[in-house]
Amino acid sequence: MGSQVPPQPLWFAPGLANVRKLQELPYHLLHAGLWDELQQEVIGSAEWLFCKSRVCGVSSVIQDLDQCSQYLVCIETSLLRDALVLIEPSLDLLDTHLDMSLFYTELLARLCSLATAFPSVIGRLCSHCEEWLLTCPDPSLVPKSSFLLPPGGALQHTLSRLQGGVLCVDVSVEAELLVAGSDDGGVAVWSLADQQLLHSLLGHTGAVLSVKVTDSSAHCLSLAADGSLRSWSLTDGQQLLCVQEALPVDSAPSSVHLHLSDKLIFVYTRTQVKVWKLDGAELFSSSCNNDDDEDKDGGSVVLGVLGESVVTLCASGLVRISHPNDEAQTVETRQENSQRRLTVVESVTLPQRGKVFVVSKAGFLHQISKTGKWTANKFPLVPSLLSVTEDEKILLVGSDQTLSLFNIDRNSVDGFLDLQHDDSVLSACVSSDNRLLASGAADQLIRIWSVTTGALLDTLCGSNTPVTSVLLFNRFVVSASTAAASIHLWNLNYDTCHKPTAHVPAGCAHVAVTQDADRVFYVRQQSQTEVISWNNNTGSVSEHLPVSAEVCCLEVAQNKRLLFCGLASGTVLIYPLALPLETLCIPPPESLCRVLCVAVSGQEKHVAVAYEDSVCLFRITSRESFPTVEGPLDAFPLSLLHAPLSAMALLSDRRLLYGTSCGEVKLHDFVSGSSEGLEPHCSRVSCVAVGNHGKHALVGSEDAVQRLWNLNPLVLEHTMEYKGFLFEGVLCAAFSENDQFVFTGSQDRTVKVWDVSTGNLLYVQYVYSPVVRMATFRNGFVALSQQGSVIREVFRCPDHIRPDYNPLRNIRAQYRVTSRDRKNQEGQPSYDYENFNPAQLDLDRMGALRDKPSATCCIL
């Protein structure tokens, strides 16, 4: 083909692609058997992948790679295909025009760890992406490590067509359908066969609290906080039924239940039951607060539905099992020899066995059968999660960080497994054969356990949010979170050689990272009295450093290789990284106040320690080549009315710049003993960073306002305000080696680069998880994300930036810079409010900027 037809260009002109070549070339090369040309021009060409993704969509490139896999068995093609599957939802999330730098950065941040092992395709792609990013005419951040989830792992797809957090999920295995409801009122239906969205079911105006697929899998029910119950056709997505007042408006999600029998629909909360026929005709309605029972000291509680019978605990302690259609079938029972009223913590129904299990506040597990039999056994757990397996043989109880399993196959309740987690257990599900268990936790991890042995078989990372829903079927796991608008589909039969590299646990209470990112230090939970040293080169824990009290803060002296650990007891422990067992100690002050912050000066000659009632200065020195700390050399008190210090930085000239939880910012000079107030923030100061040469400082706050100060003389240079659709707030910052740029990590899961001299925003990169710590490294930075990933990036900025360059072209946001007018002798700042309208960025009106380009306003 190539010898008969002249080669066609990929681009006819900048921005004008050769669509015919994009559509036809892969087919012709594939069917002509030209494998080498296929790898060079299509599979291994970063430019081709970007061009077709931009013109035809990422899904079109995935289809090309699927076709190639049918004829050409190539692990690199499969990995590339999986990488594009992971990238596609992020482009939907950003909802923006696909830019080459965005595409190349995403590809490189996922593939660069595989470049050496797979050089022919992936290695060539990574080299091309890195070379282009280093030579492109615009500012760019170049990934030097795979800090985004790489391909080949358990995560198969991310379904992301919802707009709000996912509150409920149901799966029909037979029909291969997945239905989910979100807190913005949306209901979405996907095909599990091809992961395609089938229907977006619109009609609810409140959060969708429950969804159920009918046994026939032809319909589904949805129940929302707006009070409505709706029935939908899963064939065409049409609404079949709507009941407007199915439950009280704004009911708590945890108290709302939707039950479907062969003939009836039940909706119940703790205090109300309503029943309808399948055609929508209301059959029964009861409010337990109006119970006619003689005891009026408290309301009655609905325990559940067994078949078509409602089980209610009356205020007097009597349990009533009633059929809404036949009062003659009502059964009443009372616990024998019990004078105390039953206070319900959690309940769960076992419809096949005709029982309700109830855990009481008094520490008992009650079994109440449909026939009226009632038994109670001591039960030490206070569950936040209570469920039974599909065959009703195992009871799952989540309590804090433990998931306990009980055998309930007989009438007895026998515990046989306690599965320990690192954070609160939020969800759990057992496979239909009772062999595997999947559990989701607040630490954003999904754990796969063996039910028979209790062994931890796998840990799935990449959720990025607490896992509040988990379903397990056919070696697949579906997970969701109330804090995310996406659903993850995991395949447990993946090749474990492509398992993502281990990293620091997500959501640590305190973290610190060395400048070269070879070591990470973390404290797992707020009250844990242990500091863990993580070797990032080996991906494993290197030391456990015991401490005597709760850890309050961690700080590293990068050059002298010292780890400072501030405790609630007022003690500061100092670990030399080369000899971690030779621990130094700064004893607590007389007041025994807790340590709030620790800051090391730029030249690492001094360290400042902030307590609740004072700040002290110490000297870092050495004796016989061993580090020591002397002092305190100086101190200044903090009044009782002074807000607690929240962030601080120590300058080499013994000046301390600090911010408080109330937004105050002050500069204290230990030499003269004087203090000067700086312009305050409206919320907690979350970040104070000083340049490597001590000339500039950045102060950031939780309200997304950051100020850049010149320290000699002390003057405010720039106020930078950033407004986006995600959470605001600056968490950390680091200056470049030459102090020309400052990098910031924010709550909105981005890394931003700012020009120190002008205050201009130069680059924004979405990194999927908030960056919580940063350190300067060579011509870029190293950082640690809340997810636990180590980020290494190089920043490249051309000498001249083109006038039409827009740093927000890949992000829906706006920013404003207010700069000091250097020509104004009084030093008063000047303002420009043009195109900056915070009302347009109302988080409840996310579409306000969809048709409006991102605006940049700067004062030069």
Instruction: Give the burial class of 378: count Cβ atoms within 10 A of its Cβ; 0-12 exposed, 13-18 middle, 19 or more buried.
Output: exposed
Report helix, strand and coil shares of the chain as percent, to nearest 5.
15, 45, 45
Task: Using alpha carbons, list the distances in angstroms from residue 771 to 28, 271, 535, 734, 744.
Answer: 45, 44, 19, 12, 8
Q: Is the pLDDT of residue 740 over 70?
A: yes
**Which residues sit opposite 197 in a β-bridge?**
190
What's the rounded Cα separation, in Å, for the pair 807 and 750?
13
Q: Which residues of 250-266 are buried (b: 16+ CB within 10 A; e: fewer)?
A: ebeeeebbbbbbeebbb
User: How many other C-beta atoms are found inside a 10 Å radius of the C-beta of residue 235?
Assistant: 11
Q: Is the pLDDT of residue 41 over 90?
A: no
Q: Is the pLDDT of residue 250 over 70?
A: no
What's the rounded Cα separation, in Å, for the pair 140 and 23?
30
Give the per-residue pLDDT at 858: 39
- Give the model's confidence band at 375: pLDDT under 50 very low, under 70 low, under 90 confident, else very high: confident
Quote the percentage of the chain above a pLDDT of 70. Answer: 91
CB 405 within 8 A of CB 387: no
Computed over every residue of the chain, the mean pLDDT equals 86
According to DSSP, residue 243 is labeled E
Q: Is the pLDDT of residue 827 over 60?
A: no
Q: Which amino acid is at 606?
A: H
**Which residues sit opposite 521 in a β-bridge?**
512, 533
What's the rounded Cα separation, in Å, for the pair 431 and 393?
12
Give the per-residue pLDDT at 323: 82
Q: Is the pLDDT of residue 833 over 60?
A: no
Give the per-residue pLDDT at 94: 61
Give the per-residue pLDDT at 842: 37
| pLDDT tens readout for residues 161-200 | 888 899 999 999 889 999 999 999 999 999 998 888 999 9
H runs (alpha helix) in 3-57: 19-31, 35-38, 46-56
Q: Is the pLDDT of residue 851 over 70?
A: no
Q: Which of 665, 703, 709 is nearest to 682 (CA)?
A: 703
Q: Is the pLDDT of residue 855 over 70?
A: no
Output the furthest CA–CA distance in the chain (Å, rounded).
96
Q: Is the pLDDT of residue 333 over 60?
A: yes
Residues 139, 143, 148, CA angle at the centre, nearest 5°?
Answer: 125
Give the per-residue pLDDT at 15: 73
Alpha-carbon radius of gyration of the chain: 30
CA dihedral 233, 236, 240, 244 (to 10 degrees): 90
First-to-last CA distance in the chain? 56
Q: At what angle do helices 19-31 and 46-56 cross, to 10 degrees?
A: 120
Q: Which residues of 95-115 are buried (b: 16+ CB within 10 A; e: fewer)?
A: ebebbbbbbbbbbbbbbbbbb
Give the per-residue pLDDT at 142: 96
- Model's pTM, two decimal places? 0.83
Mean pLDDT of 273-301: 67
CB 645 within 8 A of CB 596: yes
Q: Six-digit token pair at 281?
A: 């005709």
Q: What are phi and psi of 42, to 5 degrees?
A: -120, -70
Q: Six-digit token pair at 526?
A: 């707020």
**Which residues sit opposite 714 in a β-bridge?**
711
Q: How many CA atoms lie within 13 A of 553 on its CB side?
A: 22
**Which residues sit opposite 514 in a β-bridge?**
none
Give the per-residue pLDDT at 420: 93
Q: What is the DSSP string of 155-184?
A: EEEEE---SS-EEEEEEETTTTEEEEEETT
Among positive and negative, which fits the CA dihedral 135, 136, 140, 141?
negative
Instruction: Give the burial class of 70: count Cβ atoms within 10 A of its Cβ; 0-12 exposed, 13-18 middle, 19 or more buried.
Output: exposed
Give the per-residue pLDDT at 491: 94
499-503, 625-629, 788-792, range with greatest mean pLDDT: 788-792
Non-local (6+) Cβ contacts of 80 within 8 A are: 43, 65, 111, 121, 122, 125, 151
Give the per-residue pLDDT at 6: 60
What's the rounded Cα separation, in Å, for the pair 223 and 242?
10
Helix-then-strand count for the chain, H and E: 7, 64
Give the per-residue pLDDT at 95: 57
Give the per-residue pLDDT at 726: 67
Mean pLDDT of 378-389: 91
What's the rounded Cα separation, in Å, for the pair 794 and 805?
20
| pLDDT tens readout for residues 742-789 | 999 999 889 999 999 999 999 999 998 899 999 999 889 999 998 889
Q: Is the pLDDT of residue 271 over 90?
A: no
According to DSSP, residue 683 is labeled S
Task: Give how far the C-alpha of residue 771 lies from the chain's centroid of Cα atoms, to the nearest Å.
Answer: 11
CB 336 within 8 A of CB 321: no
Quote the percentage of the chain above a pLDDT of 90. Answer: 50
According to DSSP, residue 411 is labeled S
**Which residues sit opposite 480 in a β-bridge?**
469, 487
Give the per-residue pLDDT at 339: 61
What's the rounded Cα separation, in Å, for the pair 556 and 536?
16
Q: At what angle do helices 124-135 and 46-56 cross, to 10 degrees?
A: 80
What's the rounded Cα separation, in Å, for the pair 375 and 238?
47
Please give, one letter per residue, the 3-state secondary structure of 420-462: ECCCCEEEEEECCCCCEEEEEECCCCEEEEECCCCCEEEEECC
Answer with the residue of higher pLDDT: 769 or 617: 617
CB 429 within 8 A of CB 408: no
Please give, one letter per residue, the 3-state secondary structure of 320-339: EEEECCEEEEEEEECCCCCC
What's the rounded Cα separation, in Å, for the pair 605 and 628?
11
- Give the model's confidence band at 451: pLDDT under 50 very low, under 70 low, under 90 confident, else very high: very high
- Give the model's confidence band at 234: pLDDT under 50 very low, under 70 low, under 90 confident, else very high: very high
Residues 73, 78, 84, CA angle at the centre, nearest 5°?
Answer: 150
User: How many other C-beta atoms are found inside a 10 Å radius of the C-beta of residue 236?
Assistant: 8
CA dihedral 100, 102, 104, 106 (to 10 degrees): -160
Q: Six-digit token pair at 444?
A: 């954003």
What's the rounded Cα separation, in Å, for the pair 245 and 312?
22
* Continuous segment of H or E residues that includes residue 473: strand 469-473
Q: Which amino acid is at 474?
A: N
Mean pLDDT of 47-54: 88
* Continuous segment of H or E residues that includes residue 259: strand 257-260
Q: What are phi and psi of 513, to 5 degrees?
A: -135, 140
Q: Is the pLDDT of residue 852 over 60?
A: no
Q: Is the pLDDT of residue 344 over 60?
A: yes
Q: Six-digit token pair at 95?
A: 């909802």
